[in-house]
Amino acid sequence: MSRAEIPPLPAAVDIYDTTLRDGSQQEGLSLTVDDKLRVAAQLDLLGVAYIEGGWPGANPKDDEFFQRAPAELKLETATLVAFGSTRRAGRKADEDDSLRNLVKANTSAVCIVAKSWDRHVLEALRTDLDEAVAMAFDSVEFLRNTGLRVFFDAEHFFDGFKANPEFAMRVLRAAEEAGAEALVLCDTNGGTLPHEVEEIISLVRPQVSAQIGLHFHNDGGCGVANTLMGVRMGATQVQGCINGYGERTGNADLCAAIPDLTLKMGVQTIERERLGRLTPVAHHIAELVNIAPNPSQPYVGQSAFATKAGLHTSAIARSRDLYEHVPAEDVGNSSRVMVSELSGRSTVQMKAQELGLDLDAVALVEILERLKALEHEGYHFEVADGSLELLMREASGWRQAFFRAESYRVITEQREDGRFVAEATVKVWMGDDRVVATAEGNGPVNALDAALRQALGGRFPQLATVHLTDYKVRVLDTSKGTGAITRVLIDSTDGERVWTTIGVSENIIEASWEALTSSLVYALLGHVPAEGVPEV
């Protein structure tokens, strides 16, 4: 085979994230509708062009997501896309539930998947090839007629092209003729190699004029490499998932594909100024999906720029390009050897400005030292904005004077009927008043929350509007079994603001208590006029 002709590199590509649909197929990854909305908000903050939100009609969660999205998601850069399949064999497009559900999802763009490997049509769909082509055409045409923008996922395209290029191309051309805006070539089994991508796209490209998209799985370890090769061959829509989430070995990792394309190939992806959000967004989403980030992940991993050189730190500081393939700050990461000195300082300074705190150089260094020590213990302030604010206020001399806990106690019992009930007692001081309150709950944290609110409620009726919306626990060192460190994250809202607080301890109750009390202190802060923040 002669060498493929290489077209000019595209100036820009559209980043299309499918974490909420394809990525959520990952084992152990389960998202509530609230989680999905937050992940989408993070993706928008990063600045992707498209967010595939889910498959309306496939499960009630995805239906609810699309219902709530218009009111609850204020997307700045991203267009929300609903995913579905073509009409079924032997049915009419306008009578097909899957297509109707797509229209009902109320997005401006949809993506439908169709089979482009002949064997899948014959053996899985059990219909003939002409019908498969008609299914692609009719479905795109139907959706276009309702005014929707349509992206077309050609499932198993690379395997299909190798087996029967004529049929694979018929499917693509049918979708194009019916008005599909992008023809997305999918490597659904994930075993294609870069040189095959080069060759196949060089043969496909002259035959179509619609935008070419890419959707690679990582089963051969080439998800990102194939994506880069696809762009080099002229594709301009790049599908993938944050942190490479996905079924089996995952989808192409956008956290690597985005900086590779931007920094190394000079292809515009997200806005250049937003590239620095890559690492925080990747970590934030990892917290939301409750999967520990991979420290060795390219670009965004905690160790990605941790140079372990047997040299003096300052030598590395002077010539970092000798040790790093790109500057860590470009992707919002930091070089481990100087984490507190460089990236940390500016982040803390910015946050202080945002809070209107006047921190001198000494206080700033103190905060950085404290942050470093706490993060070493297992705290993670990137996702616990509420706790970070409290920590910074404390560094400026402030102490919360709303209440002081004398003690708390919680017991759980299993009753005769098999039910577990928890009962908590808290003793708190508010000024010179001592209040003792006892409450029950369905678990220890729930009982503590109820008792604490009961104790504080008389003095602070505004706490009635505060609700805990999520409670996440992660065991940080699994090698120690039950003696491991536990990190608790609590999300709260008062209907206007949303905040997250954190607690870390070997004792899950203690970690929960810390996150819980911090949440209520943060809530109370919001109701105090700025100049009236109580001081000790």
Is residue 253 a contact residue for Zn ion (CB under 5 A)?
Answer: no
Number of residues that bind Zn ion (CB under 5 A): 1
Return the range that interacts with Zn ion (CB under 5 A); candidates 15-23, 201-209, 434-442, 498-506. 15-23
Kindly state the smallest distance separating residue 376's Cβ from Zn ion, in Å: 38
Is residue 181 a contact residue for Zn ion (CB under 5 A)?
Answer: no
Q: Which residues contact 66 (CB under 8 A, 6 or more apart)?
A: 53, 54, 56, 80, 82, 105, 106, 107
Nearer to Zn ion among residue 111 and residue 463 (C-beta): 111
Tokens of 339: 């984490």
Kindly state the smallest distance separating residue 192's Cβ from Zn ion, in Å: 13
Nearer to Zn ion among residue 22 and residue 199 (C-beta): 22
Query: To 10 degrees, what angle do helices 508-525 and 385-395 make?
Result: 70
- The Cα-based distances of 257 to 188, 430, 459, 465 in angstroms read 18, 54, 53, 43
Among 17, 19, 20, 22, binds Zn ion (CB under 5 A): 22
Return the range that interacts with Zn ion (CB under 5 A); candidates 21-29, 265-273, 359-367, 492-500. 21-29
Question: What letter would DSSP give residue 433?
Answer: E
Is residue 219 a contact residue for Zn ion (CB under 5 A)?
Answer: no
Q: Which amino acid is at 21?
A: R
Nearer to Zn ion among residue 248 and residue 272 (C-beta): 248
End-to-end CA distance of the chain: 79
Nearest-CB residue for Zn ion: 22
Strands 420-430 and 109-115: unpaired
Nearer to Zn ion among residue 185 and residue 367 (C-beta): 185
Separation between Cα atoms, residue 449 and residue 444, nearest integer Å: 9
Nearer to Zn ion among residue 113 and residue 524 (C-beta): 113
Kindly state the smallest distance separating residue 22's Cβ from Zn ion, in Å: 4
DSSP-based three-state secondary structure for 119: helix
Is residue 260 a contact residue for Zn ion (CB under 5 A)?
Answer: no
Half-sphere exposure of 156 (CA within 13 A, CB side): 18
Tokens of 115: 């089979």
Kindly state the smallest distance separating residue 124's Cβ from Zn ion, in Å: 16
Kindly state the smallest distance separating residue 261's Cβ from Zn ion, in Å: 20
Kindly state the smallest distance separating residue 17's Cβ from Zn ion, in Å: 12
Nearer to Zn ion among residue 172 and residue 395 (C-beta): 172
Kindly state the smallest distance separating residue 215's Cβ from Zn ion, in Å: 6
Nearer to Zn ion among residue 22 and residue 62 (C-beta): 22
The total number of residues shown for the chain amounts to 536
Kindly state the smallest distance separating residue 113's Cβ from Zn ion, in Å: 9
Tokens of 154: 């050609």
DSSP string, 156-214: THHHHHHH-HHHHHHHHHHHHHTT-SEEEEEETT----HHHHHHHHHHHGGG--SEEEE
Is residue 153 a contact residue for Zn ion (CB under 5 A)?
Answer: no
Question: What letter would DSSP give residue 241?
Answer: B
Return the range that interacts with Zn ion (CB under 5 A); candidates 22-30, 298-306, 354-362, 412-420. 22-30
- Residues near Zn ion (CB under 5 A) are 22
